[in-house]
Chain A
Amino acid sequence: MSRKPYVRQMSKTSWFLTHSRYKHYILHEVTCIFIAIYAVILIFGLFRLGQGPEAWQGWLDGLRSPLGVIFQILAFGFAMIHTWSWFKVVPQAMRIQRGESFVPGNLIIGAHYGVLAIISLFVLILAGVA
């Protein structure tokens, strides 16, 4: 008897809309777009800093423009999504074995949030706020 296997194609451009876990995945993947733009803004700021007080003030004004504010609110949201999704999977990528058992995943994740808090506090103090 001749065989005739049937091949189903998945959409190459919209597959990630077909299941909630794929939507979560694509949401944390696109964080890189905002992260990239923010990095470019920072590098641009360093250039402006080297060009003198007016140039620097111009860059600060840019941050304060409506577009700058809206972008940074979005960027902060996506940066948090990145942080959250990144920490969440650390125990899978980095198992720590102690004898016959593994350090619990939640402990590893918790430690990451602890370090995040310390670093954030440190930077805020450095910036003269906290």
Chain B
Amino acid sequence: MSTRTITIEVLRYRPEQDQEPFFQSYTVPCDEDWVVLDALNYIKDELDRTLSYRWSCHMFVCGSCGIVVDGEPKLGCKAFVKDYGDKIRVEPLGNFPIERDLVVVIDDFIEKLESVNPYLIPKEEKSIDDGEYLQTPAQLKAFKQYSMCINCLLCYSACPQYGLDPSFVGPAALALAHRYNMDSRDVGRKAREDVVASHEGIWECSFVGACSQVCPKDVDPAGAIQQTKITSAIDYVTSFLPGGNR
């Protein structure tokens, strides 16, 4: 297998000694079928044990290796070095504080995710003995795309509205809220609506669409948010009509 020598420029930040991040270059002999994550692993194993980054599955499932490669949010395990030049710039995800090197602080996202009640809220609780909540394939299809999210946060990194105003609930959390709202077994839309349809929720989104362009799982958070806007706006208006429930 042929190898190519690539310069990997990594944005480093070591909180105990650095005032601000800086780029450090490593020369890495990359196999042609490597992904950027392989190059980072090579650096860690062979060149510099102090480099910090997150990863786990190496197969687009765990969502932990989100980084910015040449200015584009990517999963480290899905960014093939053959698609890049002889110099690759690797940075931590944008719009999140840097904890260390490529590791970012994602507490804010976790809070937002919790705030939208991202779980099934059934009409009535059933015991396991009563069997499953049944659903047709068509009903499954209605929300399936939005359930593919792996919480990798590439979408938050790409979203300028989140960068400009961190109080924005953001793409993945709102897409997940939509995923449950669209589920035929779920009746929790009202419970989610106070967060989802707040100023910081869907209405902070101006449909830049960047989230959907970078999403590695084709979740299309931007579409989910626009669909939510339509139903929420109609809800809001009809709540003023006689018989509308507020």
Contacts and interface: CB of A to CB of B under 8 A. Distances in A.
A10 B223 contact: no
A97 B105 CA distance: 38
A119 B209 CA distance: 28
Given A5-B15, A12-B164, A100-B137, A92 B97 contact: no
A30 B142 CA distance: 34
Interface in B158-193: 160, 163-164
Interface string A94-127: 1101011110000000000000000000000000
Contacts of B71: 19
Interface string A4-27: 111110101001100101100100
Contacts of B160: 10, 15-16, 22
B66 interface: no
A1 B142 CA distance: 47
B115 to A, nearest CB: 21
Contacts of A92: 209, 212, 220, 222-223, 226
A85 to B, nearest CB: 10
B105 A10 contact: no
A92 to B, nearest CB: 3
Contacts of B21: 6, 8
A70 interface: no
B141 A10 contact: no
A91 to B, nearest CB: 8
A15 B138 CA distance: 41
Contacts of B129: none
A5 B223 contact: no
B99 interface: yes
Interface residues of B, number: 33
A12 B165 CA distance: 10
Q: How large is the interface on A (under 10, 10 to 19, 20 to 34, 35 or more residues)?
A: 20 to 34
Contact of B227 (A3, A29, A93, A100): A93
Contacts of B141: 97, 100-102
Interface in B191-215: 206-210, 212-213
Nearest to A98: B138
A94 B230 CA distance: 9
Nearest to A101: B141
Nearest to A4: B15
A6 to B, nearest CB: 4
B223 A6 contact: no
B15 A3 contact: yes
Contacts of B105: 5
Given A6-B98, A22-B160, A89-B226, 7 more contacts: A5-B97, A16-B160, A19-B71, A21-B208, A25-B210, A89-B209, A100-B137
Interface of B: 13, 15-16, 20-21, 71, 94-95, 97-99, 105, 137-138, 141-142, 160, 163-164, 206-210, 212-213, 220, 222-223, 226-227, 229-230
